[in-house]
Amino acid sequence: MEVTRTLARFIVGHRYADVPEKVRHEAARAFLNWVGCAVGASRHETVGRALAALSEFSGPREATVLGRGDKLDIMLAALMNGTTSHTFDYDDTHLKTVIHPSGPVASAILALAERKPLKGEDFLHAFILGVETECRIGNAVYPSHYDIGWHITATAGVFGAAAAAGRLLGLNEQQMVWALGIAATQSSGLREMFGSMAKPMHPGNAARNGLLAALLASKNFTSAEQGIEGRRGFANVLATERNTAAITERLGQTWEIALNTYKPYACGIVEHPAIDGCIQLRNEHKLKAEDIESIALRVHPLVLELTGRRTPQTGLEGKFSVYHSCAVAIIHGAAGEAQYSDDAVRDPRVVALRDRVTAAVEQGVHEDQVHVAIQLKSGKVLERFVEHAAGSLDRPMSDSDLEAKFRGLADGILSTTEADRLIRLCWDVGRLKDVGEVARASVPAAVMKRDEVRRDKEKRDSNSKGNQC
C-alpha cells in the first residue's frame, strides 16, 4: 500500500519505448492546444497585472512567457504560462476529474527546456508521466475533493508538475518520493476564486510549486515518505472519500492522457451541443442571419442554469449566454475567443439574432446533447438532434480542428507564417532536438524586434553610465 513510493518508482523508471504511439500523438495534441491557449491569452490584462507585480523580482531570465517578448526565471515563467493557458478557460479537460491537465505540467517543463536544451522525446515522455500522475491522483479523490470546493486542476496539478520536472531533473526514487511530498504540502486552490483572476493563476501556481518541489528534492530536501496516502497526507486531508489504490492500479498499462478532450468553443461546456448544432445547420444550408425567423433549443437543465443570461453586456457575460453563443455560431460559424469580445457581444447583428433564440428544458436530453429547430423566414424549419457534442470523447476534435482552433487563438498575435511554423513545431515536439525552440517560436517577430531595440538602448545607456564612473 505504498502509494507515493510505487508512483515515484514508476515515474523515475518508466521507458519512453513503452508509451504507445497513440498516447504520444494525444500528448502532442494536448501540447498544441496548450501552446495555442497560452499564446492566445498572452495579451490579457490578467497577464499584464501579474507581470507588473512580479517581473522585477525575476531571477535569471531564461524562460519565455509564450506569445510575448518577456523573459523570466523558470519559476516565474512557469507561473505565467500556467496562468495564460487557463485564462480563456479554453484549455484541455480530463472529463473524469474535470482536471485541465496540460497547464500545470507543460508550464513547468517548458521552462526547464529553455534552461538547458532538452530532447523532444524526453520532454514528451515527462509530459505524459506528469499528466498520468496528476490525473490518477485526481481519480483517487474525485468527486468528494472537488465537491468540498477544491479546484482540482491546481491541487492535483502540482503533483503532475513535480513528477514531470523531477523526471527531467533525473531524480532517483527517494528524491521523487520527496518531490511528491513537497508537492502534497503545497497543494492548494479554492473554487471560490472562479470568476476572478486568481482562478487562471491556479495552474500557474501548481506549475511553479511543482517545479520548486522537484528542485528542492534534487538537492535532497526531504519530505514525509507518504505525502499522498499518509494519515495526514493529501488524500486524507483534502478529500472526504478517496481510493488511493486507483493511483497505482495498472500503472503503465492505461494512460489518462488518452481520455483528454479539447474545447472547440471558448465557453462553458454545457453550451457546446447547441453551438455545434447551429454550426452544422449553418454550414449545410449556407444560412445567413437574415434568413432566420427564430431558433428554438431543447436542452439539458444545466444549460439554462449556468448559461441562461438573456442580455449579456460584456464578452465575459457572453460566455454565460447560450443565446449569444447560438447567434455567433450562425453569424460567424465559430465560437472562439473572438466571438466573446465585448464588441462581438454588442454587435447589432448578433444582438438582433440573439433575441430570436429561445431555449426550453426537455427531459431526456443529456448534457452533451441538444435539439435545435431553426424556423426560416421562408417558412421552412431545419432540425438537428446532436447526440454527442463536438469535442467530446465520442466526437473528438480532429487534428485539423485543433490547428484551426490554434490559428484562431494566435490571430492578431502571430503572423500566419509564424502560426504555421509554431503548429509544425508542436506536432513535432516529440522529435525536436531542443524543445526550447517552441517557446522561442511563440514570440512574434515584431515583439522580438521591439525587444532588441530596447535591449540595445539599455546596453547603450548602461555603457554610457559606465563611462561616467
Residues that bind a second copy (CB under 8 A): 46, 49-50, 52-54, 56-60, 73-75, 148-151, 154, 178, 181-182, 184-198, 201-202, 205, 212, 215-216, 218-224, 226-227, 230-234, 236-237
Alpha-carbon distance of 245 to 252, in angstroms, equals: 15
Taking alpha carbons only, the member of 257, 298, 277 closest to residue 388 is 277
Ramachandran class of 308: left when φ > 0, alpha when ψ lies in -120 to 50, beta otherwise: alpha
Contact 51, 70 (CB under 8 A): yes
CA distance 261 to 100: 9
Q: How far is the CB of 133 from a second copy (least distance, A)?
A: 18
238 or 425: CB nearest a second copy = 238
Residue recorded with cell 506528469: 130
Q: Give the nearer residue to a second copy in terms of CB position, either 224 or 258.
A: 224
Nearest by Cα to 325 from 370, 365, 376: 370
Q: Which is nearer to a second copy, 194 or 385 (CB)?
A: 194
Smaller CB distance to a second copy: residue 237 or 381?
Answer: 237
Tell me which H or E stretch contains 372. Answer: strand 370-376
The smaller minimum CB distance to a second copy, of residues 13 and 48, is found at: 48
Q: Which is nearer to a second copy, 226 or 392 (CB)?
A: 226
Write down the least CB distance from residue 464 to a second copy, Å: 16
- Residue 198 dihedral angles phi and psi, to the nearest 5°: -65, -25
Q: What is the C-alpha separation between 203 and 83, in angstroms, rounded?
A: 6
Confirm if 5 and 249 have CB atoms less than 8 A apart. Answer: no
The residue assigned the cell 472562439 is 336
- Closest approach of Cβ 70 to a second copy, in Å? 14
Indicate the residue among 150 and 262 with the shorter CB distance to a second copy: 150
Q: How far is the CB of 215 from a second copy (least distance, A)?
A: 5
Smallest gap from residue 138 Cβ to a second copy (A): 17
Cβ of residue 455: shortest distance to a second copy, in angstroms? 16
Shortest distance, CB of residue 355 to a second copy, whole angstroms? 31
**90 or 150: whose CB is closer to a second copy?**
150
Please state, in angstroms and rounded to a whole number, the distance separating the CA atoms of residues 231 and 234: 9
284's grid cell: 449545410
CB of 211 to a second copy, least distance (A): 10
- Altogether, the residues listed in the chain come to a count of 469
Q: DSSP code of 358?
A: E
User: Cis bond leading into 143, ω under 30°?
Assistant: yes
- Helix residue ranges, H only, 55-185: 74-87, 102-115, 120-141, 144-148, 152-168, 173-184
Which has the closest alpha carbon to 327: 294, 360, 301? 294
Smallest separation (angstroms) from a second copy to the CB of 344: 23
For a second copy, which is the closer residue by CB, 94 or 151? 151
